[in-house]
Amino acid sequence: MGAKKPKRKAGKKTPGKKTGRRPKRKALRLKILTAAAALAAAGSYLFHGLPSLDDAHPINTRPSVTILAADGTPIARFGGLQGRLLSIHEVPPALVGAVLSVENRDFYSDYGIEPLAILRAMLVNLRHGRWVEGASTITQQLAKNLFLTPNKTLRRKAQEAIIALELTHKYSKDQILMAYLNRVYFGNGAYGVDAAAEMYFNRPAPALDLFQSAMLAGLLRAPEYYSPQIHPERAMARTRTVLREMVAAGYIDRKTADETYKNGRPPARLAAAGDLNRYFADWVLSQIDGFTAATTNDLTVQTTLDPQLQLMAEAQEKRVFAAIPRDRNVTQAALVTEAPDGAVLAMIGGRDYAKSQYNRATQGLRQPGSTIKPFVYLAALENGYTPASTISAAAIESGDYHPKNYDHEKFGTVTLAEALQKSLNTATVRLLRAVGAEKFIDVARRAGFTHLPKPELSSALGADNVDLLELTNAYATLAAGGKETWPYAVLSIRDSAGNLLYQRQPPERAQVFSLDNIAALDGMLQGVVQPGGTGAAAALPGVVVAGKTGTTQDFRDAWFVGFTPALVTGVWMGNDDDGPMRAVTGGMYPAALWHDYMGAVSGFSLPQFHPAVAQSLVPPDSSFADMLNRWSSGAGDDDGAGGGFLGGFTGSETPVYNR
């Protein structure tokens, strides 16, 4: 038997033979290098573009503009409102306690982040498959506000944590807390606690009491949702939650919390001027640059808007539209109310500002239809005609232009008063031919139209485009007794330092039309709202009303514009796509809205900023018959009633239904 091989002792190597240990060490080193490379790549990804602490952007470099109604009611704010930068010693302890109780109870003991809270939030978000819970400390929120975007991504959250750690290392807790409170958003355009205290409670932040401090702290979660001026019930419920959290955190006792909530009251509601006043506010904002030099200070603009009229206009618009059958295809409306001096007192630019910010009162150019006719008749009055002058309203047979009367109604010879009362197209075209287009255009210019009619016969029937504001303002010129009138809205502008930057001074207004001619035309327009007139639906018992209807081709636009001794209001209805309505005329829903709204505010008194307008209309106790008796200039011959009226200018296609 051969000799047995000696057994190898454990741990000894056989010379010349390899073992598996060296490959294992290589694999371990490779894993370490791979992990290090991954961490380096992750760090590079997270730190790439990470800003320096010295690169914090300002809160909002644009000055804020606060728009006030005539009575001081805030109706809109644009830009950011920022108050004083406060130190920790100027802030009430109650405010600090309220904020820390609901936002970051361990603020003074954490390191800028709370790892367990972050892990818990990540698990919740993974379980739901979306962001449903956050875990940001006050320091992290400050990091986000200072340097980062609000996008919810893992990279941003990691960067937020890194910056929070660096902030905690570099600054004291008091400095971090005040940097947060001086720039955090409290809603309604207010950035920082001092601006929020002034805006919501009309006092500086150092003067806040416990209830007010708790209410402001409650806004931080969702400023617009818990806004005390928009949703006071939600704000009160949130304030109760904050007070209870302060009890749990040991800042106050239960009795103090209960008494504070019981005796606390939210600030007054905003928007006492309606839901659609933003159309007006946007229009005002577009004009601000023309009143003041460039400034970095916040601005407050007091305007002519009357909350009483605005609220009533909106309420009546909703009520009238609720009664319009859907198959009538009326989807939009606009309304403007002016005082006879041009002050814009109410404005509706559309039915829903949230869905469309397009202002149909100031931006919508539409054919005015027969609402332009009074200015043709005013041109005739200036050239020797009277309301009793006669003119043919028969069908026009000669020439290339054959306008027809509404529903193809046939008339013979009528007075000018009858022609305007019944809105007769053929008579109006003949009148324009007799007077001359250039005189009509001159009247339109003096009446304040910014879009002048063309020298065509169709212009007499409203074939040119205008907007509702300029049309209403032209009627305001009539209501003001023929004085030059321009629409205005800005009364004064002040900056945040209290400096008066602009104060409106009533201008000298030229007498652009004679009182006799205006009185005659006013009487004719009163006839329009009498029985038999196209605007009879607008008549108000016991109130002098003068106005005119308008309807364009295929019922695409329907208008009523009219005035009382105190107010001028224009109404338009139609569709944004210029689609036809179904047999809707100006004498229907527009006149009905005008009637209901103007009837509801018939006792309105002009605000103090309006000059007296003694001669704006005939006295309220006079009647249409009285006006007829005062027409003393006699009936003139109608030299425009015959044929051959197309010489010198031609008409383009014009609405047939032009009532």
**What amino acid positions are annotated as catalytic residues?**
103, 370
Q: Which tokens is 269 given?
A: 């509601």
CB atoms within 10 A of CB 495: 16
Burial (Cβ within 10 Å: 0-12, 13-18, ≥19) of residue 165: middle
**Pairing of the two strands 500-503 and 546-551:** unpaired
* Cα(589)–Cα(535) distance, integer angstroms: 11
Encode 432-464 in three state secondary structure: HHHHCHHHHHHHHHHCCCCCCCCCCHHHHHCCC
Choose among 620, 629, 659: nearest CA to 428. 659
DSSP strand pairing (568-574 vs 557-563): antiparallel
Measured CA angle at 289 (ends 284, 290), to 5 deg: 90
| DSSP alpha helix (H) spans, 481-562 | 515-528
Q: Are 230 and 270 in contact (CB under 8 A)?
A: yes
Contact 447, 510 (CB under 8 A): no
Q: Report the SS3 class of residue 510.
A: coil
Task: Report the run of H or E that residue 392 belongs to, with start and end.
Answer: strand 390-392
Q: Counting Cβ atoms within 10 Å, is residue 41 exposed (0-12), middle (13-18) or buried (19+)?
A: exposed
Residue type (1 letter), 577: D
276: left (phi over 0), alpha (psi -120 to 50) or beta: alpha
Cα-Cα end-to-end distance for the chain: 134
